[in-house]
Amino acid sequence: MSDERLRLAIQKSGRLSDGSFELLKSCGLTISRGRDKLYGRVQEMPIDVMLLRDDDIPAFVADNACDIGIVGQNVFEEELLSGIHDTPANEVMELGFARCRLMLAAPKEWSFDGATMLAGKRIATSYPALTKAWLEAESVDSKVVMMKGSVEVAPRLKIADAVCDIVSTGATLDANGLKPVATVFESQAILIRNALKFSPEKQAIFDALLKRINGVLRSRD
C-alpha cells in the first residue's frame, strides 16, 4: 500500500477557517491537530492539513508545498492577476461560504453617478490588481494606492479620494464617512489545486475527497 498523503492548506483562524473546518466535518472527516498546531491529520483519509494565514495559501499551493487549498476567490484572483507565480494554482470549485464583496466606496457627500467620476482620483486598496482590472474594464484612469490594512481611513487622512475594500455589512465604511458605490468583485471560498499532475495514488485521494465535498454541497442547496 502507498503511504502517499494529500496535503491540504486551510486558514488557521479567521473568516475562512470556521467554514473550512465545517466543510471537512460535513465530509465525515475529523482532524487531529498536532501540538504545534501548524499541522493536522485527517483520521479517515490519508490527508495532511496545514494551517496557514489565508494570504499564504495560493503560494503554498502554487509552489507545491501543498497539493490543494481552501482560500477566498478574492485573494486567489488578486495573485493570479498580479502574475507573481510562474505556474499558479488552478481553481477547482466554488465552495459556497465566506461570501463577501470587493466594493468601491466613496465619501458620502459624493453624488456618485458612475465610474467616470473616479477619473484622476486616488483609490486606496489591498487589492490593486482586481481594482485596476475593474477600472480598465470601465475605461477609467485612476491612481491605485496600495494599503495592507485600514484602507477605509485613507480618505479621511487625504491619502486617497475613494477606497476599494471587502465589505460585508458596510458598518465600517459608514463609520468612516464612506458609502459603497460599485461592486468590483464577488467572492466566496474556493478549492484550489497545484497545476502539476498528481500521482495516481494522490489523484485517487483527491477524487475521493471531491466526491465527499460535492455530496455535501449538493445537500446544502
Footprint on this chain of ligand ATP (rule: CB under 6 A): 11, 14-16, 53-55, 72, 74-75, 98, 100, 166, 168, 187
Instruction: Choose among Zn ion, ligand ATP, none what residue 74 binds, the Cβ cut-off being 5 to 8 Å by kind.
Output: ligand ATP
Positions touching Zn ion (CB under 5 A) are 54-55
Instruction: Choose among Zn ion, ligand ATP, none what residue 20 binds, the Cβ cut-off being 5 to 8 Å by kind.
Output: none
Q: 53 vs 220, which CB is nearer to ligand ATP? A: 53
Instruction: Choose among Zn ion, ligand ATP, none what residue 45 binds, the Cβ cut-off being 5 to 8 Å by kind.
Output: none
Instruction: Choose among Zn ion, ligand ATP, none what residue 214 binds, the Cβ cut-off being 5 to 8 Å by kind.
Output: none
Q: 13 vs 116, which CB is nearer to ligand ATP? A: 13
- Closest approach of Cβ 141 to ligand ATP, in Å? 27
CA–CA separation, 43 and 29 (whole Å): 7
DSSP single-letter state for residue 54: G
Q: 100 vs 133, which CB is nearer to ligand ATP? A: 100
CA–CA separation, 129 and 162 (whole Å): 16
- Closest approach of Cβ 120 to ligand ATP, in Å? 29
Neighbours of 25 (CB within 10 A): 12
**31-70 per-residue burial string, b: 16 or more CB within 10 A, e: under 16:** beeeeeeeebebeebbbbbbbbebebbbbbbbeeebbbbb
CA–CA separation, 1 and 150 (whole Å): 51
Q: 89 vs 205, which CB is nearer to ligand ATP? A: 89
CA–CA separation, 97 and 73 (whole Å): 11
Residue 146: which residues within 8 A CB-CB, separation 6 or more?
Answer: 124, 125, 126, 128
Q: 190 vs 205, which CB is nearer to ligand ATP? A: 190
